Chain A
Amino acid sequence: MKENVSKADRIVDDLLPQDFDWRELVRDYPLPGLLVAVVGGFLLGRRHGSELLSALQRFADREVTYNLRTLLGDDAVGDDGFDEN
């Protein structure tokens, strides 16, 4: 049976081990699966929240710089993301 794999499923596939059939597990036990996800997210945010926010900020910074360079050209934006002039 061909399964419709969404983008969210692929993201979870990337996060979890390949041989772990998480879809079947979540379909069999939906509420415990959600509870595990909530608790995991909570612990991740509580223990590594600052690192995650920093990484998110760096990612957004890079994306903005990349898009500005694409729009304005490489000469308009310096390496640090701001106009040199």
Chain B
Amino acid sequence: MAKQAAEDNVRPIERAKEAVSETVDKTRKAVNEKLGTARERFNEVADQVGEKYQEVAASARRTTGEVRRRAEKAREAARERYEVTSQHLREGYSKVRDDVGTVVDDVIDYTRENPGRAILIAGAAGLIVGLLFRPRRRYGD
């Protein structure tokens, strides 16, 4: 009789234990499912962010490369134009210098061969310029 009473007292406790254990299992399972879902969602978002980052980085790389390529092209064109212009200037300067040197040499040779004529021509040129630039007298002076 007493044994029966003890068994009757133990059974609800075990049932309660089983119920608690079942509840804990369900809760754990639910939490695990939610955690799994959250992890998957997090991984998806992370993947999307990574893809976006890769796209933006690739676009930035492409833009940077394009800008660099255009800058290089413009710099090359400017350098080429500078080279051509400076070459023309150098050639022009050299030609003018040679021409002036030739004229001066010719004048020196002519002056040494014909000193009187050269002196008279130079004096006449100076005289004409002096006549052109002489001070004008005003009326009444």
- Give residues in A with beta carbon < 8 Å to B: 6-13, 22-23, 26-27, 30-31, 33-35, 37-47, 49-50, 52-53
Q: 6 new A-B pairs (CB below 8 Å) besides A6-B116, A27-B115, A44-B127? A: A7-B116, A13-B116, A35-B122, A37-B119, A43-B130, A46-B130
> Min CB distance, A4 to chain B, in Å?
10
Q: Nearest CB to that of A53 among chain B residues?
A: B131
- Give residues in B with beta carbon < 8 Å to A: 104, 107-108, 111-112, 114-120, 122-135, 137
> Min CB distance, B129 to chain A, in Å?
5
> Min CB distance, B125 to chain A, in Å?
6
State whether A8 and B117 are in contact (beta carbons under 8 Å apart), knowing that A41-B130, A49-B131 are contacts in the complex: yes
5 contacts between A and B (CB under 8 A): A12-B116, A30-B118, A41-B130, A42-B126, A42-B129
Is the pair B115, A9 in contact by a Cβ cutoff of 8 Å? yes
Cβ-defined partner of B134 (8 Å) among A27, A37, A39, A49: A49
Q: Which residues of B contact A30 (CB under 8 A)?
A: 107-108, 111-112, 115, 118
Is the pair A8, B112 in contact by a Cβ cutoff of 8 Å? no
